[in-house]
């Protein structure tokens, strides 16, 4: 009876819209109407939590009440409050504080279907990004037999403000991490509802890039996320450096930064803080990152793995061989100023660390700065994460993306190479979104990477028929999958430089790696 009523309602709802109707889905809150486009069912703008407005600002996400009838899921919701874009070349999204929605791309379902699920956590430095960015659309992956869910989460100060007054309101005496709470709420929604879309709640993979990958590392040690996913993918991001170098992640310090930030905005009480216009709480600020709060994130990802308090699930992680080219302008780098400039940016560095990146000529100095930034921001974190995780029961699959896309001269992407962001056109199999002169090698790599990612979501192992073998990572100098033309297996890139970073970080911690 419900199906007949739902189909009749959908026919009225979508009449004249020119859409093919997706199979209706009944969530715990009510029915949703999607669209069928190019053989994929798409549901946009499904709420997974109440709008975090007014008294709900800086509070945990609250459940959505049930609705009557059929809710249209044909339009993307606004992105969470932010300034700018998370990726050069993308259009700035429409934004709102009312932003806690998710989107689903699913193969047409049939009785008894239970397909693997990838839940995508977007990047953007915790200050911008969108669940609806075209590059993240899951249509191409869905055609390969997986459901793709893209989720929003609160950003900037709205997502990560820690403040003593907010901690006093909390039964856990903590604050911050509202963005992580949103991610957990979305994963809880997936557990309750994804079967209605043909997904398997016991085969959920969390996946993210950049800040999204850092969030994955946090979720892997959050007790609140236990049981909400069975595999994890992290691309170019993790939180593993010594906390001595990032003291702002500790709750007391984050609260102090939050007080200073609110005082600068003229708000000293929770009521005054919640009355601030949302637009004043966007952009980069000192409280735009997760906090080790004793509750959502009781300890750092590094310490969680060392103490055996991580969720032991199959892991696929890696980074790109030229990460920094998309992030750092090195045109003014000169050999005679290299050490002074890098010290001005990062403070006094050990001689061994500077010596690991030869900079005798201007050309060397430019390459050295790019290599240093690559390894500092991404390379060491992913190598450390792989080493920590491979000591568990579940396998780790470690990659290095080394392919140079055909970014055209004169474009915003010119000169990027295998940079930060570059792998995403391939793993989402979205070469068709960019009007560049893609080569046969690009199409072959996109087909293989999307197959690897889908296969991993399905089984916890990226290997499959027709794909170059990808061995599990074993040991500090284990083999990584070199994603390029051709795909092959090789040693960890820049291993000597990573080992120097490792020695420096061990000295900062006061112990050797893993002790």
- Residue 505's pLDDT is 96
Integer Cα distance of 473 and 496 in angstroms:
18
Integer Cα distance of 333 and 12 in angstroms:
63
8 Å CB contact between 219 and 206 = yes
Mean pLDDT, rounded, for 435-448: 97
Do you know the residue count of the chain? 515
% of the chain surpassing 70 pLDDT: 95
Nearest by Cα to 482 from 502, 465, 468: 468
Tokens of 500: 């120097």
- Residue 19's pLDDT is 58
- Residue 12's pLDDT is 43
Confidence label for 512 from pLDDT (cuts 50, 70 and 90): low
Mean pLDDT, rounded, for 358-383: 98
All domains of the chain in start order, with CATH? 35-49+74-100+112-313 (3.40.50.1820), 319-392+399-515 (3.40.50.1820)
How many CB atoms are located within 10 Å of the residue 7 CB? 14
pTM across the whole model:
0.95
Nearest by Cα to 249 from 209, 221, 283: 221
Mean pLDDT, rounded, for 366-393: 97
Asked whether residue 250 carries a pLDDT value surpassing 50, the answer given is: yes
Omega before 486 within 30 of 0, i.e. cis:
yes
Nearest by Cα to 205 from 153, 154, 152, 149: 149
Kindly give the pairing relationship between strand 480-483 and strand 488-490: antiparallel
Integer Cα distance of 279 and 83 in angstroms:
9
Kindly give the pairing relationship between strand 480-483 and strand 396-401: parallel
8 Å CB contact between 116 and 404 = no
Tokens of 74: 């044909």
Nearest by Cα to 88 from 286, 287, 325: 325
Please enumerate in sequence order all residues whose Cβ is within 8 A of that of 210, keeping only pairs 6 or more positions apart, or say none: 86, 123, 124, 125, 235, 236, 237, 420, 421
8 Å CB contact between 176 and 287 = yes
Mean pLDDT, rounded, for 156-165: 97
* pLDDT tens per residue, range 45-103: 999 999 999 999 999 999 999 999 999 999 999 999 999 999 998 999 999 999 999 99
Integer Cα distance of 33 and 45 in angstroms:
11
Q: Where are the alpha helices (DSSP H) in 283-432?
A: 301-306, 338-346, 351-355, 362-374, 380-389, 424-427
Asked whether residue 153 carries a pLDDT value surpassing 60, the answer given is: yes
Confidence label for 449 from pLDDT (cuts 50, 70 and 90): very high
- Residue 436's pLDDT is 94
Asked whether residue 442 carries a pLDDT value surpassing 80, the answer given is: yes
- Residue 2's pLDDT is 38
Integer Cα distance of 278 and 289 in angstroms:
18
Integer Cα distance of 158 and 153 in angstroms:
10
* pLDDT tens per residue, range 101-112: 999 999 998 888
Measure CA 43 to chain center. 21
- Residue 211's pLDDT is 98
Query: Out of 255, 323, 373, 423, which one is annotated catalytic?
Result: 323
Integer Cα distance of 197 and 420 in angstroms:
33
Task: Clarify whether 323 is annotated catalytic.
Answer: yes
Query: Out of 122, 311, 413, 420, which one is annotated catalytic?
Result: 420
* pLDDT tens per residue, range 225-238: 999 999 999 999 99
Query: Out of 174, 175, 210, 321, which one is annotated catalytic?
Result: 210
Asked whether residue 416 carries a pLDDT value surpassing 50, the answer given is: yes
Burial of 352 (0-12, 13-18, 19+ CB in 10 A): exposed
Confidence label for 510 from pLDDT (cuts 50, 70 and 90): confident
Nearest by Cα to 326 from 93, 90, 82, 70: 90
Task: Clarify whether 420 is annotated catalytic.
Answer: yes
Per DSSP, the residues of 380-402 read HHHHHHHHHHTTSSS-EEEEEE-
Nearest by Cα to 205 from 110, 274, 120: 120
8 Å CB contact between 99 and 152 = yes
Integer Cα distance of 207 and 174 in angstroms:
27
Supply the DSSP symbol for 494: T
Mean pLDDT, rounded, for 135-151: 98
8 Å CB contact between 327 and 86 = no
Task: Clarify whether 210 is annotated catalytic.
Answer: yes
With H, G, I as helix, E, B as strand and everything else as coil, classify residue 489. Answer: strand
How many CB atoms are located within 10 Å of the residue 479 CB? 17
Mean pLDDT, rounded, for 412-421: 95
Tokens of 452: 């690897």
Integer Cα distance of 161 and 356 in angstroms:
37
With H, G, I as helix, E, B as strand and everything else as coil, classify residue 20. Answer: strand
């Amino acid at each position: 009876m419900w199906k007949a009523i739902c189909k009749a309602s959908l026919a009225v709802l979508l009449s004249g819209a020119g859409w093919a109707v997706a199979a209706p889905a009944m969530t715990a809150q009510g029915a949703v109407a999607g669209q069928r486009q190019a053989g994929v069912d798409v549901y946009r703008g499904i709420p997974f939590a109440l709008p975090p407005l007014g008294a709900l600002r800086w509070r945990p996400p609250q459940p959505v009440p049930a609705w009557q009838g059929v809710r249209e899921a044909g339009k993307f919701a606004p992105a969470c409050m932010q300034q700018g874009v998370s990726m050069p070349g993308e259009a700035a999204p429409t934004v709102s504080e009312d932003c806690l929605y998710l989107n689903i791309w699913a193969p047409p379902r049939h009785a008894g279907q239970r397909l693997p699920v990838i839940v995508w956590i977007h990047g953007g430095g915790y200050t911008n990004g969108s669940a609806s960015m075209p590059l993240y659309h899951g249509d191409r992956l869905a055609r390969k037999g997986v459901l793709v869910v893209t989720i929003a989460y609160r950003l900037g100060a709205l997502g990560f403000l820690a403040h003593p007054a907010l901690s006093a309101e909390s039964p856990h005496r903590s604050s911050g991490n509202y963005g992580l709470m949103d991610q957990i709420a979305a994963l809880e929604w997936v557990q309750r509802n994804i079967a209605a879309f043909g997904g398997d709640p016991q085969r959920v993979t969390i996946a993210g890039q950049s800040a999204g990958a850092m969030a994955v590392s946090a979720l892997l040690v959050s007790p609140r996320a236990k049981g909400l996913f069975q595999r994890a993918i992290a691309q170019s991001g993790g939180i593993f450096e010594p906390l001595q170098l990032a003291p702002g992640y500790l709750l007391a310090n984050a609260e102090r930064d939050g007080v200073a930030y609110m005082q600068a905005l003229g708000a000293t009480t929770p009521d005054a803080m919640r009355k601030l216009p949302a637009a004043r709480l966007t952009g980069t600020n000192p409280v735009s990152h997760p906090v080790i709060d004793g509750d959502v994130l009781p300890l750092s990802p590094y310490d969680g793995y060392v103490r055996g308090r991580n969720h032991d699930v199959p892991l696929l992680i890696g980074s790109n061989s030229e990460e920094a080219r998309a992030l750092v302008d090195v045109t003014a780098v000169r050999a005679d100023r290299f050490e002074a400039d890098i010290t001005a940016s990062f403070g006094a560095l050990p001689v061994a660390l500077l010596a690991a990146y030869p900079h005798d000529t201007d050309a060397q100095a430019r390459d050295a700065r790019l290599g240093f930034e690559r390894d500092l921001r991404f390379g060491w974190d992913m190598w450390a994460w792989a080493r920590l995780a491979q000591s568990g029961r579940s396998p780790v699959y470690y990659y290095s993306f080394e392919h140079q896309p055909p970014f055209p001269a004169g474009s915003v992407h010119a000169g990027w190479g295998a940079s930060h962001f570059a792998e995403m056109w391939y793993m989402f199999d979205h070469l068709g979104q960019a009007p560049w002169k893609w080569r046969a090698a690009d199409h072959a790599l996109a087909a293989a990477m999307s197959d690897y990612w889908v296969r991993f979501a399905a089984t916890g192992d990226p290997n499959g028929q027709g794909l170059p073998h990808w061995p599990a990572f074993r040991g500090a100098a284990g083999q990584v999958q070199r994603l390029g033309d051709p795909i092959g297996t090789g040693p960890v890139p820049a291993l000597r430089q990573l080992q120097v970073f490792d020695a420096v970080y061990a000295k900062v911690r006061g112990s050797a790696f893993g002790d």
